[in-house]
Structure 1
């Protein structure tokens, strides 16, 4: 019995994480930048859903989606042309949209790309948005969050499957990341084994963006002392994700009990509630502070409220979340303004969150 090829091993790993039976009869939008990871994912999904003799043809579809940020001029246009030819090779529909080259900050780029994907999901009636994030991407995300300040759930990395957003209109859309167990080198090796091309983004070598610095400088330095650092961190991330999954029901209950209304977001003051909002707590009215467990649950519930409201999370560090929890428990100021122009006001019974309309110069 011969050993499977690197490409077959790669496809088997995708099948294990995301069986073709789950998406062959629904619509999938595949985000494809032209880089190795997204190209490998697209090729694998296209092959998995290809009609085969003697079997019922799949009733689903794949749409290839490429957002051209135009940050690199002709090179960016070359990426778009590459993705278009790749989609044509597999007979797939392709959608390409160009962004504003002047909007170079990470948040604007992410928001524009996200709006593009959301529009395609709705227009085509697709179920999944498939993204080619790898194990290395997940490790970089966790390190980035740690250095900015994050809670235990932030160290769980990105989920392999999650709703596109918490908004009710997006309840049918799921983001799928079936490559989180696969390393970047393994993915490239799989593509080389079938002589498949991809595009290299030269800007990934620039350390202007912090994520690139983590990739290009921090992780290689760590691996000089700990050669298997990425694999070890990935195992820790998986353990955190399992813990996060177990905590979800507690967070659901917290929001159900403490949220007075969703818009404007209004939460009960926890120093006015027996038990501080946590079942089983021996609450003392004069304690005026959250226990570490209560703080962890409250912060992750707040993150979910932010996500539902569509407010920016990137600039919210752990110290911001801690200050909000302090307000909920009756400490700290009665008013503050958080990143993203979110105003927080506390009255006798509740804490109210309102995001001001952005002011443009």
Structure 2
């Protein structure tokens, strides 16, 4: 039995030394081999298999049961999440992918590594599909071996392993796995490449796979070189909060602007990266919009906005009725906010007590320590909080009076040295 799978996994774990290993576990052959092999390495790192129930197949419940049984046999902790994927989405594959990654980001913590079972043949299919879409160098680097995701890191340790080697491993260990009927549906581009065009290509050019893999490797090296060369310019146009200065960006040539935008999106883990045509629209509609506008460019579940000459990139913000949001808050329970993260720790700040947590309403008035009493709208303008962030900003109340705005200020009469220090970030 070829031990290449054990070797690449061992090398990957030894290199990154994660606190926990999360495995994206669909139950298919690839993820079943990945989970089985990682569980055989006999390391002391906790392993968690995450199964996403998309509800797109009549067999989805059976797959869930099979995955749970396999994890019991392997003595691996198993978690599953049901997600809702709109069948009328423009791309069902992309909608399902977005739903999966939302679940992954929910579970991954600092120091964790999420392992996915993509292999060499998947990489080749990705390259060919992007080639047909007219992708540039960034797109043609195909899938990355590693990148950050949420609070941890995403790893694809099997990208150097072929589908044939995956199948040999599964047969050797007699692994049962899910057979997703959608994998045979050639109306999906990836399946058409897999079942029709690539086999024909390999018949004509037996070394096609090796040549494509070599090309991807060269492009990845050149892409890294390009990013290294452009980094001094990038450091000039991005600030310490990760925002792009639209004026400085606008002074660069078109080609450098494109590469800076791509590098910026990579740094913020906003995928999929944009094609040249999309970047053209982004620059025209956002960066070059009229000065008094608050423009936005959206794609997938991401958006880019501009405020006071700065470009912001973020997950798409939800629709929310701020007037009906109200929770009790005593510092003991982490509140569920529509967007952003609220954190607090002991220190000079708000007196511990029982409060109500609401969302921003511009007409409410507040009096920060040694400052005048003004409407929140005025304070948020003074603190330069972008208009689209304001509806999601938490505000602490006592008997209907504003006592603190997390991340901005504590109000007169409500501060103490051994209180709560708040921070808030969208």
Change over 3 Å in CA distance of 1:252–1:216 after alignment to 2: same
Equivalent residue number for residue 11 of structure 1: 6
The Cα shift of 1:313 comes to 3.0
Among residues 157, 162, 177, which one is paired with 1:183 in the alignment?
162
User: Does residue 93 of structure 1 match 2:93?
Assistant: no
Q: What CA distance in whole angstroms lies between the structure 1 residues aligned with 2:313 and 2:10? A: 44
Whether the 8 Å CA contact 1:254–1:298 is kept in 2: the answer is: no
Matched, 1:77 2:61: yes
Residues 246 and 287 of structure 2 are in contact (CA less than 8 Å); yes or no, is this contact kept in structure 1?
A: no
Contact 2:119 2:158 in 1 (8 A): yes
Instruction: Find the counterpart in structure 2 of residue 214 from structure 1.
Output: 193
Deviation at 1:175, TM superposition (A): 0.6
State the shift of 1:196 in Å: 1.8
The answer to whether 1:40 aligns with 2:33 is: yes
- Higher strand fraction: Structure 1 or Structure 2? 2
Quick one: which of 302, 315, 318 aligns to 2:276? 318
> Residues of 2 paired with 1:351 and 1:66: CA distance?
39
What secondary structure sits across from 2:68 in the alignment?
Answer: helix
Call closer, same or farther: CA 1:39–1:327 in 2, change over 3 Å: same
Preserved CA contact (<8 Å) 1:320 1:338: no
Q: How far 1:221 moved relative to its partner?
A: 2.8
Q: Quick one: which of 278, 295, 301 aligns to 2:260?
A: 301
User: For residues 242 and 175 of structure 2, what CA distance do their matches in structure 1 show?
Assistant: 49
Query: Which of residues 144, 147, 162 is equivalent to 1:159?
Result: 144
Map of 1:111 onto structure 2: 98
1:294-322 Cα deviation digits (max 9, x unpaired): x1x532331233345565536x4332235
Preserved CA contact (<8 Å) 2:149 2:269: no
> Which residue of structure 1 lines up, in the alignment, with residue 204 of structure 2?
225
1:97-118 Cα distance to aligned partner (Å, 9 max, x none): 1112544622321121111111
- Provide the rounded CA distance (Å) in 2 between the counterparts of 1:148 and 1:34: 30
- The answer to whether the 8 A contact 2:287-2:306 is kept is no
Matches of 1:255 and 1:231 in 2, distance apart? 35
Q: Give the Cα–Cα distance (whole angstroms) in 2 for the partners of residues 98 and 216 of structure 1.
A: 30
Offset of residue 45 of structure 1: 0.8
Aligned match of 1:121 in 105, 108, 116?
108
* CA spacing shift, 1:320–1:28, aligned 2, 3 Å: same
CA distance in 2, matches of 1:339, 1:216: 34
Deviation >6 Å, runs of 4+: 325-330, 332-337, 343-347, 353-356
Q: Structure 1 residues 266 and 187, CA, compared in 2 at 3 Å: closer, same or farther?
A: same
Does the CA-based 8 Å contact 1:69-1:100 persist in structure 2?
A: yes
Deviation string, structure 1 residues 3-34 (Cα, Å, up to 9, x no partner): xx13x233123334x144743x6201111111
Residue by residue, what CA displacement relative to the aligned partner does 1:254-295 show, whole Å, maximum 9, x if unpaired?
3221236868754235564xxx4xxxxxxxxxxxx54xxxx1
Q: TM-score scaled to structure 1, two decimals?
A: 0.74
SS in 1 for 2:159: coil
User: What count of residue pairs does the alignment treat as equivalent?
Assistant: 312
Q: What is the RMSD of the two structures over their aligned residues, measured on CA atoms?
A: 3.5
Structure 1: how far apart are the matches of 2:70 and 2:166? 17
Match of 2:119 in 1: 134
Question: Aligned equivalents of 2:173 and 2:304: distance in 1?
Answer: 54
Higher helix share: 1
Gaps of 5+ in 2: 321-426
